Amino acid sequence: MDFTDTPKKFQQLLWKESIQAVKDSIRFTSFETFRKHLQDSLPQNSSYTRKRYTSSILKWFFPTGDLNSLPSLVWRHYRDESILRDVMRYQYLSREPVIAEFIRQYLIPLKP
């Protein structure tokens, strides 16, 4: 799966939906079946919005287009949501370098 042609724009993170998607992914053996499940299970009314959100979640957390992404493997082997969230934060920032750079330049230097 290639996401290089995906338009670059800021979009809502969909954090809860993404965590649930990773957890759900370990029940599937087919990536396409998982994709359909994800698109059908998102709570938005518009099918266009669900399709767009599905594409974003897959880009962020399943970038190679298979079910053996790092977050899925972490959930499958550890079933620890704290570890999963840490891995997903890293994965998200790896896929969204503009946001990562903003955090590095403007948020990390702030005093607590």
Of 22, 17, 11, 21, the closest CA to residue 98 belongs to 11
Do 35 and 54 meet the contact criterion of CB atoms below 8 Å apart? yes
**Entry field: residues in the chain:** 112
CA distance 45 to 78: 33
Ordered DSSP codes for 72-87: HHHHHHH--HHHHHHH
The tens digit of pLDDT for each residue in 85-99 reads 999 999 999 999 999
Give this prediction's pTM: 0.85
2-6, 16-20, 56-60, 72-76: the lowest-pLDDT one: 2-6
Mean pLDDT, to the nearest integer, of 52-59? 97
CA distance 99 to 93: 7
